[in-house]
Structure 1
Amino acid sequence: MVTRTRRSAAPATPSAQAQPAPAARAARAVRKNVRRAASGMLGLSGERMSKVDTAWLRMDSDSNLMMINGVWTLAPGITWEALCERVQQRLLQYPRFHQRVVEDAAGATWVEDQRFDIAAHVVRERLPRRKGLSPQQALQERVGELAMRPLDARRPLWQIHLVEDFTGDDGQRGSALIVRIHHCIADGIALISVTMSLVDGGSEPPKRSRKAPASAEDWIADALIRPLAGITTKALDLAGDSAARSLHLLREPEKVLEHGLAGSVDAARVAYQLLSDAAALALMPDDSPTRLKGKPGRAKRVAWCPPIPLDEVKAIGRALNCSVNDVLLACVAGALGSYLRQHGDDPADKEIRAMIPVNLRPLEEAWKLGNRFGLVPLVLPIGLANPIERVYEVRRRMTALKGSTQPLLAFAMLAVAGLLVKPAQDALLNLFGRKTTAVMTNVPGPGEALTLCGARVTQCMFWVPQSGDIGLGVSILSYGGGVQFGVITDTQLCPEPQQIIDAFTPEFAQLSLLTLMLPWGSE
């Protein structure tokens, strides 16, 4: 805490007494502006946005908006009035959903929206009715259009569009929700927590204690140093207790002597791992050239498939001694390879890189929102035609990434990017865009079917945003005993994402059949 001592006023000098009024007013104005700038920089007039969230806020581009887009279908339908009431009761318990963002030279601040209007955020939507266009296709087209419509920066950065009268491909009449939330508010894991408070029977989020205005030193510690140190520890915990201990040794080298040679070896091992992973990120080779890689335009399309039974995916994983994630990622790689072959490209000997988010916080703290994840680059073996061989290759590559500090380094890079001016931030983050074809995420959703305002949530899907020149987003979501696969694409690079979706189910079916034909216990 910085304290100031009051000095006795010095006698006025003749020059001070003779200071002209305009000069005095100018001096007062300068002092006022300096105080105002300092207040804004330190977040004293609101809650300061973290540097990682600031990076996501400023990552919007003409080709990619940093919004998480989602769709829920409900049966039977719900009314706009009922949805507004539920949002006011539950969603607005999270401060971020009634706060707008004010940017300044040093970053951004969350401030209360004094003119908050629920009708501006929960809006009625009417899908176009065109000959040959099913309601499902109309919904997909509308999601693609909204994915490229910026949110109103004068208001909290989220919207829910309600289609009150919607009929799905299964013939069920009901409603559909299109949800748009800017990534600076939260990541996918945190939004699952939001979802669970919004549905019937959901609990309100824990109450957060309000902090007193912080000094400059407190703000720097709280906003920059402590969160990064804490998340670093959690990330290295994934690699084992010795890695976590070594982190503390690296931060406090004088304790190496107390821990002896073993501590020194652990510290050296983690230091080597950090340097190796940093070099791997910096020196990533370019992806294989495919039609999915290039300069994106300004239009998006989305598609998703019907749910696949999660028990079937688990059974394949057990039979092949692989994780559910290995199985699903192998099917994604197969679907992308099949799509390329369908369009005359030979994917043999080709590989594409997908950036995969890795959660860096305890799930019980997801209600705090914000972004607490890193990224790891997974090279997808799209050129392997044999589904079994592809699963084992994905497993091998995923195993090699375990214990990596790359998620931590990616998180740190985002934190640094949030400290820079936007052109410098863009230049830094283009490292990922140039070397990556897709962003891919796998989020575990609720295991049981949910209800909202008395209506059953029959289907839910979401799409991750892409940054820079990345034109392909792949999402995998488990919900209610099923797993869904969805893609969002830039129309200039992939005009018909449904063709990728249509290849996913046959890839899974082929893998399932071949797994049944294998002798037990073999690999």
Structure 2
Amino acid sequence: MGLVAAPDLPFLLTESRATPMHVGGLQVFELPEGAGPTWLREQFEAMLAHDDIAPLFRQRPYRSVRTGGQWAWREDDELDIEYHVRHSALPEPGRVRELLALGSRLHGSLLDRQRPLWEFHLIEGLEGNRFAAYTKVHHAMVDGVSALRLLERWLSTDPTAVVPPAWAARPKRDRPAGEGGASPLDLLLGTAKGAVDIVGVAPTMLRSARRALEEELAAFPFKAPPTMLNVHITGARRIAAQTWSLARVKAVAKASDATLNDIVLAMCAGALRSYLIEQGELPEESLTAMVPVSLRTDDSAGGNAVGAVLTSLATDTAEPSWRLARIRESMSIAKGTLSGLSPVQVLALSASNMFATPLVSMLGGGEGMRPPFNIIISNVPGPRSPLYLNGARLQGIYPVSIPYHGQALNITLTSYVDNLEIGLTGCRRRVPHLQRLLAHLESSLVELEVAVGLSSGTSKRNGPPADA
């Protein structure tokens, strides 16, 4: 199957027992009307019956003398589908709290490198006539965008459709006429152009570094202050999740002439500020966030195609409207550095923003030192239409991501129809009372609504915070 691609390789190289490098997701479904007590068991058995597995889900990593000691993919010809696909049940009373407790335990365990790097858990016993699914896939196989594409390909917008499982092989798409493979000359020219593109990144990097020194809101690696979140972590995880109305967030964006992502960053900045004050750990300098940027240009659902920009979160500012204004300006500076660059140049510049992250992680987190950035905040657009699993409506999608040494907390968001779904993933030991961040996110959004004249300060929480 070939060598592991360069963008995917760091997730294998930096993995350890304390830093599992898989991404995950909790999906909550409503049982179809009239579903009997054996309906979910029947779905599980039907999933196991699919033995035609897509290549992405058959590959496993290996290295040998033949690969020159490098990591490569090869097909697992002894794939045991019953190992990868599992049926679980929640203990009573089957609340979201119990679901997230189970998800936290599952997310903290390593995937077996002697097998394809994925698991799927079908979970029954969730209150409210619901069930859930927990999926985890190694980050060397997928990024956030490709993971959501796999979800969309698995489920259907038709509630009457019968769908195969996510790992089932799909018919190959026919190539349009004239869309053949690249010729050797094309590959040679592409390589040469890529080399020229990368050389052209150097002036941009120098300009960014100079601007970071001159302007407070221009972010650059190692400009961030050390915090309680930038420490050595353990392998145990705690996850928390909450749903917000997308209309609320969009209304604030419209009223403040900001983007949706600006408001999301401002929500997170306000919540982090309140949380760190609560812990007595707020630094005088502003936190810096790394914000992933999708570079995917096709409809593929595998591998990694992600860039990154750095932005100030203005956590040293108490007033929410001024904090939002500073975040907008910092993001404008970050986006400006990418303007006019080719995809290869964007990737190279992104690598410069993230270059020290694997090293800091392998060195144990760099406690007390200035980290490359303080936190990753990822916003991945999700499905816009309701999705169904054989008649069961998908109610919510909660992303679960990767903390690692030097980054004890990850915030990942996705949208689904009319909702904004926020998932928090933290080291169980290093990020105490993780669920309180959910309350702070709500308070931060209310503050922004008040600041732009949309609210008098009354909370509009969609539901109680949930954590495990």
Structure 1 length-normalised TM? 0.70
Q: Residues 153 and 329 from structure 1, CA distance in 2 versus in 1: closer, same or farther, beyond 3 angstroms?
A: same
- 1-side partners of 2:281 and 2:70: how far apart? 45
Equivalent of residue 329 in structure 1, options 257, 260, 265: 265
What residue identity is the alignment partner of 1:395? R
More helix by proportion, 1 or 2?
1
What residue identity is the alignment partner of 2:98? A
Matching of residue 186 in structure 1 with residue 142 in structure 2: yes
Contact 1:68–1:180, Cα closer than 8 Å, also in 2: yes
Equivalent of residue 408 in structure 1, options 338, 347, 360: 347
- What CA deviation, in whole Å up to 9, does each residue of 1:419-471 have, x standing for no partner? xxx98994699899933322220000011221112101111111221333210
- Larger Rg, first or second structure (1 or 2): 1
Q: Residues 99 and 451 from structure 1, CA distance in 2 versus in 1: closer, same or farther, beyond 3 angstroms?
A: same
Equivalent of residue 322 in structure 2, options 389, 394, 402: 389
Most deviating of 437-446 and 427-436: 427-436
Give the C-alpha shift of residue 106 in structure 1.
3.6
Give the C-alpha shift of residue 124 in structure 1.
1.3
Secondary structure, aligned partner of 1:51: coil
- 2-side partners of 1:427 and 1:60: how far apart? 12
Aligned to 1:503: 440
Identity %: 27
Matching of residue 365 in structure 1 with residue 324 in structure 2: no
Aligned to 1:341: 277
Matching of residue 196 in structure 1 with residue 133 in structure 2: no
Give the C-alpha shift of residue 392 in structure 1.
1.1
Matching of residue 351 in structure 1 with residue 286 in structure 2: yes
- What CA deviation, in whole Å up to 9, does each residue of 1:123-167 have, x standing for no partner? 1123344xxx76211221222222220111111100011112212
- 1-side partners of 2:89 and 2:192: how far apart? 44
Q: Residues 57 and 85 from structure 1, CA distance in 2 versus in 1: closer, same or farther, beyond 3 angstroms?
A: farther
Secondary structure, aligned partner of 2:337: coil
- 2-side partners of 1:150 and 1:228: how far apart? 39
Aligned to 1:160: 120
Matching of residue 207 in structure 1 with residue 192 in structure 2: no
Secondary structure, aligned partner of 2:299: helix
Aligned to 1:399: 332
Give the length in aligned residue pairs.
Answer: 415
Give the C-alpha shift of residue 286 in structure 1.
5.0
Equivalent of residue 90 in structure 2, options 127, 147, 153: 127
Contact 2:269–2:313, Cα closer than 8 Å, also in 1: yes
Q: Residues 357 and 146 from structure 1, CA distance in 2 versus in 1: closer, same or farther, beyond 3 angstroms?
A: same
Contact 1:67–1:183, Cα closer than 8 Å, also in 2: yes
What CA RMSD, in Å, does the superposition of the two structures yield over aligned residues?
3.8
Q: Residues 56 and 136 from structure 1, CA distance in 2 versus in 1: closer, same or farther, beyond 3 angstroms?
A: same
Most deviating of 115-124 and 92-101: 92-101
Equivalent of residue 62 in structure 2, options 94, 98, 102: 102
Aligned to 2:462: none
Aligned to 1:439: 376
Contact 2:232–2:364, Cα closer than 8 Å, also in 1: no
Aligned to 1:257: none
- 2-side partners of 1:404 and 1:197: how far apart? 34
**Alignment of structure 1 residues 119-268 onto 2, 5 Å:** 119-129=82-92, 135-167=95-127, 172-200=128-156, 207=172
Contact 1:98–1:113, Cα closer than 8 Å, also in 2: yes
Q: Residues 410 and 444 from structure 1, CA distance in 2 versus in 1: closer, same or farther, beyond 3 angstroms?
A: same
- 2-side partners of 1:187 and 1:451: how far apart? 23
Contact 2:377–2:411, Cα closer than 8 Å, also in 1: yes
- 2-side partners of 1:116 and 1:344: how far apart? 50
Secondary structure, aligned partner of 2:7: helix
What residue identity is the alignment partner of 2:307? G
- 2-side partners of 1:344 and 1:430: how far apart? 21
Secondary structure, aligned partner of 2:336: coil
Secondary structure, aligned partner of 2:8: helix
Contact 2:230–2:365, Cα closer than 8 Å, also in 1: no
| Structure 2, gaps ≥5 residues long | 33-38, 176-182, 213-217, 339-344, 456-468
Most deviating of 49-58 and 63-72: 49-58
| Structure 1, gaps ≥5 residues long | 1-45, 211-217, 233-246, 252-266, 519-523
